[in-house]
Amino acid sequence: MPRIRRICSVLLAALEISCNASSTGSVAAGPLPKPERDLTVTAKSGEPATAAFAGGCFWCVEAVFEPLDGVLNAVSGYAGGASESANYNAVSAGKTKHAEAVQITYDPAKISYGTLLQVFLSTHDPTTLDRQGTDLGHQYRSAIFYATDEQKEVAQAYIRQLEQAKVFDKPIVTTLERLEKFHAAEDYHQNFVARNPDHPYVRAWVPAKLKKLREQYPQLLKK
């Protein structure tokens, strides 16, 4: 059933949008301002760090972060719910507290946590509650899963900065949730966009996101 719903989502998308990043809500027209505050304590030299975000379908979120210079790995999975319910059928049916999320392993010497936040909030709609485009439900919420108190403080400060600057014409509804545990999704979800470029859902949503990434943040991309 979840796959059927996702196919229906694609058909609805074809009617509602012309391959835009989101069909409702508010998406910043240009690049977001850089965070005024970033992590003051980073990993030791050569030691990777992690961050986790949810912004709708994890295929799309993973595809946005993989091209960034300094991102070592991006894994699709589930966060926010119980271990026993961390499976695609349950999560995509809205029967759990999980969000479809992506855990990013990155080199803080090349890309900062604040920059990851900037890209995250630029490439999805942080003003739509429990929805991204035609994907509906709490499992598709916009969320920042923080692993440390400092990550939480930096994310809170950046959201306040964007709100004060009125970057979006609607309030940001992105939640900040402590990352208790990240559960990697089934193998067939990993690197899904690269392995399935002609999938209808991929063709409907991903090109616009990657185009925006290339146009607004070319300096962040891997050479």
pLDDT at position 40, please? Answer: 81
Distance (Å, whole) CA 100 – CA 81: 10
Which DSSP letter does residue 17 get?
A: -
CA dihedral 129, 132, 136, 137 (to 10 degrees): -50
Active site residue: 8, 19, 57, 60, which one?
A: 57
pLDDT one-digit tens code per residue, 14-61: 433 333 334 445 667 689 999 999 998 665 666 899 999 999 999 999
> Which residues touch 214 (CB under 8 Å, ≥6 apart)?
221
Percent of the chain with pLDDT over 70: 85
* Residue 21: per-residue pLDDT: 39
Distance of alpha carbon 36 from alpha carbon 108, whole angstroms: 17
Q: If pLDDT is split at 50, 70 and 90, which confidence band does 149 have?
A: very high
Q: Is 57 a catalytic residue?
A: yes
Write down all domains in the chain, each with its CATH number in brackets: 2-218 (3.30.1060.10)
Tens digits of per-residue pLDDT, 69-86?
A: 999 999 999 999 999 999
Q: Is the pLDDT of residue 215 over 70?
A: yes
